[in-house]
Amino acid sequence: MMRKALLLVIALGIVVSMAAAADAAKAARTGKQVYESVCIACHGTGAAGAPKFGDTAWVEREKKEGLKELVKDAIKGERAMPPKGGCTDCSDNEIRAAVQYMIDAAKKK
């Protein structure tokens, strides 16, 4: 009986470890991936007044408000943009990466 209980505990531990490893394996999306899958809908066209991808307005906003504030606005939503741009499964870090991606693209112009 004790041996069966021990084996059950070990098996349960293995299953939990495998689930944790699967979660860890789900890599965070890059800023480019988030932009291309979510942000492009508005920032690609400037819909509802969204700053367009590659526009120098991104650089100006970063200088004026700072990256931290821009990310905070993107996470909570700003004007017509819903929280996280509507990406309900995006992490805060993924949103930060997307904002940084858009700023970096504007700096290349």
Task: Of 106, 39, 36, 37, give the one whose Cα is nearest residue 74.
Answer: 39
Closest CA to 96 of 64, 74, 66: 74
Task: Give 92-103 pLDDT, tens digit per residue.
Answer: 999 999 999 999
Domains assigned to the chain: 28-107 (1.10.760.10)
Which pair of structure tokens corresponds to residue 91? 């992490």
Residues 54, 79 contacting (CB under 8 angstroms): no
- pLDDT tens sequence across 18-63: 554 445 446 899 999 999 999 999 999 999 999 999 999 998 999 9
Q: What is the pTM of this model?
A: 0.75
Tokens of 3: 């041996």
DSSP secondary structure code for residue 26 in this structure: S
Whether the per-residue pLDDT at 3 is higher than 90: the answer is no
Distance of CA 77 to the CA centre of its chain: 13
